[in-house]
Structure 1
Amino acid sequence: MSSFDEVFERIKLATNTRTQVELAEVLDIRQSSISDAKRRDSVPSDWFMKLFEKFGLNPDWLKKGVGPMYLRTEEDGYQPVEGPAAGRVFENPAKFGDPDARSAVVTIHSMQNLETSEDGEDTRRFSSVGKLSIPQSFAGATIQIFRVDASSMEPLIKKGAYVGLDTAQTNILSGEIYGVYVPYEGISIKRIFLDAANQRFILRSENPAHPEQYLPMDRCTEDVVGRVVWNLQTM
């Protein structure tokens, strides 16, 4: 293993710290512990574990300066990055711990490819049409992802876009966008407004070429699949 000073310099580089005080805060230890380690010319093993758990730093890179600076596994989502060239400042690694910096692979569903039972009844089952890598913060147990196959919400949501529906959000907030089930057709993305006088909800498209549709109030709980919480598309 390299000397304390060599390891210490790599730790400072990777954590974007400059002083013992700053590094002590990162490691959640006393500054005197760093002075003690320097005097012994030995880096405590628990430092490597903390740096791995907090930033995904590769212990071998810290100890020897070889291999990727970061590690990656299917479970932790750490991104391997080769060590920076000498004299270059590396990006703050703390960002790699953010949910938006880690990805999750999710299933994409078709909006219209429905399966039916033997007696012809609509089963409301949507087939998988692929996989998509998205930020972890966009995924979740209640998020169902669909590929938009219609132009009714253009230009806001384009045909071919991916939308995330939060199936836990089915209570209507007037003016918000939801995925609504249309019998024997599939999921339709619409902006919903309350029409209390007629005991119904108005389903509106962004595209003026598509007419309004209506959803009876007593069908709301059954037919609203979820609220659109994100949209991924090309410009």
Structure 2
Amino acid sequence: MSNDFDAFFERLCSETGITSQSHLARELDLGRAAVSLAKRKGTVPARWILDLAARFELNPLWLEKGAGSPRSAGFEDEGHAPYHEIPKVRARLCAGGGSFETEGQVEGYYSFRADWLRSRGNPANMVLMEVVGNSMEPEIKEGDMVLIDQSRSDILSGGIYAVGVEETVMVKRVERLPGTLVLRSDNTDYSPIHLSGDELDNVRVIGKILWTSREYR
């Protein structure tokens, strides 16, 4: 989380059409009280930074800390720049039974070919995260880095998605059945998770996994 709500809000307003905290709450699909609480604490949830940066094509590091320019080179000259920088956040996706690490500061950027990214979606909506746990092995292993398109929340059965369930964010294969959402692991040691009824109110599809990278140790 950042530590200066007022500076964040001033930067946001300077580059977007947002004019009030109520307007910000509407953009984030939150109640006004959530924004008031963030202001009192002087903090900005990392998810807000990523969502707003993607929506308004802003540099998330600038939006969070005022570092760099408001819009990265990939946003300013996307038609000509051969590469586009995608932010990697410190938050990690759970592939198992552990908790989601909510520390979401941008810790760096990775360059991808801009034409490859655009062929798969809008680069402004993409983010990189690291995976912890072994529930998606052998397809995705612990320590892998995954590229997530946050704009692709419509479920295609069998696709791999980052899914938020209450305070945990997991990477799972997702299947939608009548009245039920099924989260499946590739590792057969893990049973499918069936969510239905009121449980669906606590589910948020973060985005579709587009790509994975593995560093051999």
Q: TM-score, normalised on structure 2?
A: 0.50
Q: TM-score, normalised on structure 1?
A: 0.46
Specify which structure has the bigger relative contact order, considering alpha-carbon pairs within 8 angstroms and separated by 6 or more residues: 2
